[in-house]
């Protein structure tokens, strides 16, 4: 699991911001929010423009580094506009079984790395400084990767080459995972499996506005009666009482309907909240998979607060071992019935992230009305 994340000089986060998933307060209620002392379900509140989406993009940046799966739109500008630093800094700490893995790197831009470092159980496995051209690979044997052809990697980096290659430098961790025969129980394989199963999404009602091709693909996937029933059950669990039917059109396409005495076209009559739910289903629930980490950004933008509560409960039940971070403006969700004070956070305009249990001098208990305290200004200095 992800144990800690540290970020600095990234977009609106000029100073260091960190999420310590192991910083729990020992509450004996809403225990499903914590697994083995690590926060698995987290809800972040923040005013507009505090950086909730930027924080999610930063957490997902490791996919771009390890697998070239970029989450940047337009490309390159990631540095804080008021900072004099030339790079954004990322640090991820993972726990796999009894081992601790720390992967750190710095970026000049969305495409170009400045440096990277891998540490396992306190041992520096490798360190690369792409700016200065200094590389350290002394402890690859610690992870049984001493057979890695370092000369080939350095050659690909054009180290000591006569001509300057303008291509962006290849992260060594990405190269090693792709080019070294690692043991099946290698901690790097576990890291790779975790990072590949990370997802970020912003819930919306854009299915109707999406290209027909995307909706056609989604409709075709519902041709499996098990999937169609799963979508129907999901909507009913969320409080949308309905029955669904999928029919073939004369042109060969599939069309989704509400099933009543007559068939009612789904995309022509569904509410914005229902579209948002189906879009969420399409992005995260349609396929059979085992996610490791999900960032749901403003997931409840189109939901009544009761439906938002149902979504939180549903994801907690469906993915009990997955780490899920949700962002919201909905203070109705600030309740101990769903979460707990060490899993509810406030993201401030100054770029600090504070758990509610650390945002007041009171000892927060299960009976406290957290929403009322929030509205009355109890946590105001942390916004």
Q: Are residues 17 and 144 in the same domain?
A: yes
Residue pLDDT, tens place only, 265-322: 998 899 888 988 998 998 888 877 899 999 999 888 888 889 999 999 999 999 999 9
Per-residue burial over 173-187, b if 16 or more Cβ lie within 10 Å, else e, is bbbbbeebebeeebb
Q: How far apart are CA 145 and CA 287, in angstroms?
A: 34
Residue 377 contacts by C-beta under 8 Å, 6 or more apart in sequence?
A: none
Bridging pattern class, strands 134-136 and 123-129: antiparallel
**Per-residue confidence (pLDDT) for residue 167, from 0 to 100:** 55
> How far, CA to CA in Å, does 182 sit from each of 37, 185, 238?
30, 8, 44
**Per-residue confidence (pLDDT) for residue 234, from 0 to 100:** 95
Q: How many domains does the chain have?
A: 2
Q: Are 304 and 319 spatial neighbours (Cβ–Cβ below 8 Å)?
A: no
**Per-residue confidence (pLDDT) for residue 163, from 0 to 100:** 47
**Per-residue confidence (pLDDT) for residue 165, from 0 to 100:** 46
| Residue 351 placed within a domain | no
Residue pLDDT, tens place only, 353-365: 999 999 999 999 9
Q: Which domain holds residue 75?
A: 2-22+62-200
DSSP one-letter string for 274-288: HHHHHHHIIIIISS-
**Per-residue confidence (pLDDT) for residue 74, from 0 to 100:** 45
3-state secondary structure of 312: helix
Q: Are residues 193 and 221 in the same domain?
A: no
Q: How far apart are CA 364 and CA 345, in angstroms?
A: 14
**Per-residue confidence (pLDDT) for residue 210, from 0 to 100:** 57
3-state secondary structure of 256: strand
Four-CA torsion 206, 207, 213, 217, nearest 10 degrees: 140
Token pair recorded at residue 217: 């693909």
| Residue 242 placed within a domain | yes
Q: Are residues 193 and 237 in the same domain?
A: no
Q: Are residues 9 and 129 in the same domain?
A: yes
Q: Are residues 13 and 161 in the same domain?
A: yes
**Per-residue confidence (pLDDT) for residue 159, from 0 to 100:** 55
| Residue 343 placed within a domain | no
**Per-residue confidence (pLDDT) for residue 68, from 0 to 100:** 85
Instruction: List, for the chain, all residue ranges whose pLDDT scores fall below the cut of 70.
Output: 70-76, 159-168, 203-214
Count CB atoms within 10 A of the CB of residue 28.
7
Query: Where a domain ends, among 200, 225, 250?
Result: 200
Q: Are residues 7 and 124 in the same domain?
A: yes
Q: Are residues 194 and 231 in the same domain?
A: no
Query: Where a domain ends, among 238, 271, 304?
Result: 271
Q: Are residues 214 and 184 in the same domain?
A: no
**Per-residue confidence (pLDDT) for residue 147, from 0 to 100:** 85
Q: Are residues 171 and 224 in the same domain?
A: no
* Stated pTM of the model: 0.92
**Per-residue confidence (pLDDT) for residue 169, from 0 to 100:** 83
Q: What is the CA radius of gyration of the chain?
A: 23
Torsion sign across C-alpha atoms 304, 305, 311, 314: negative
Q: Are residues 68 and 84 in the same domain?
A: yes
Q: How far apart are CA 240 and CA 362, in angstroms?
A: 39
What's the helix, strand, coil split of the chain in %, to 5? 30, 25, 45
Q: Are residues 186 and 250 in the same domain?
A: no
Q: Are residues 114 and 226 in the same domain?
A: no
Query: Where a domain ends, among 235, 256, 271?
Result: 271
């Amino acid at each position: 699991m992800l144990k800690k994340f540290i970020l600095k000089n990234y977009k609106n986060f000029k100073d260091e911001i960190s999420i310590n998933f192991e910083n729990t307060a020992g509450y004996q209620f809403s225990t499903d929010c914590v697994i083995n002392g690590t926060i698995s379900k987290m809800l972040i509140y923040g005013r507009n423009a505090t950086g909730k989406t930027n924080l999610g993009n930063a957490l997902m940046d490791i996919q771009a580094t390890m697998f070239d799966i970029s989450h940047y739109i337009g490309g390159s500008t990631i540095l804080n506009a008021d900072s004099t630093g030339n790079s954004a800094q990322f640090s991820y700490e993972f726990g796999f079984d009894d081992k601790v893995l720390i992967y750190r790197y710095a970026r000049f831009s969305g495409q170009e790395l400045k440096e990277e470092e891998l540490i396992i159980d306190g041992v520096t496995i490798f360190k690369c400084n792409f700016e200065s051209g200094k590389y350290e690979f002394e402890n690859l044997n610690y992870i049984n990767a001493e057979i890695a052809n370092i000369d080939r990697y350095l050659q690909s980096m054009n180290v000591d080459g006569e001509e300057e290659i303008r291509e962006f430098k290849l992260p060594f961790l990405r190269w090693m995972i792709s080019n070294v025969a690692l043991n099946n129980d290698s901690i790097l394989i576990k890291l790779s499996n975790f990072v590949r199963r990370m997802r970020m999404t912003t819930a919306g009602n854009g299915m109707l506005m999406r290209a027909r091709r995307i909706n056609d693909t989604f409709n075709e996937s519902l041709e499996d009666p098990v999937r169609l029933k799963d979508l129907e059950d999901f909507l009913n669990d969320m409080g949308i009482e309905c029955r669904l039917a999928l029919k073939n059109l004369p042109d060969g396409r599939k069309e989704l309907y509400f099933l009543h005495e007559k068939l009612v076209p789904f995309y022509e009559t569904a509410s914005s909240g229902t579209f948002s739910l189906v879009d969420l289903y399409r992005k995260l629930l349609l396929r059979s998979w085992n996610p490791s980490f999900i960032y749901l950004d403003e997931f409840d933008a189109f939901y009544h607060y009761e439906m938002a509560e149902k979504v939180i409960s549903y994801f907690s039940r469906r993915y009990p071992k997955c780490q899920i971070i949700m962002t919201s403006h909905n203070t109705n969700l600030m309740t101990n019935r769903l979460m707990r004070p060490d899993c509810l956070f406030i993201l401030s305009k100054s770029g600090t992230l504070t758990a509610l249990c650390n945002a007041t001098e009171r000892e927060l208990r299960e009976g406290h009305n957290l929403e009322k305290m929030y509205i009355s200004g109890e946590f105001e200095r942390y916004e």
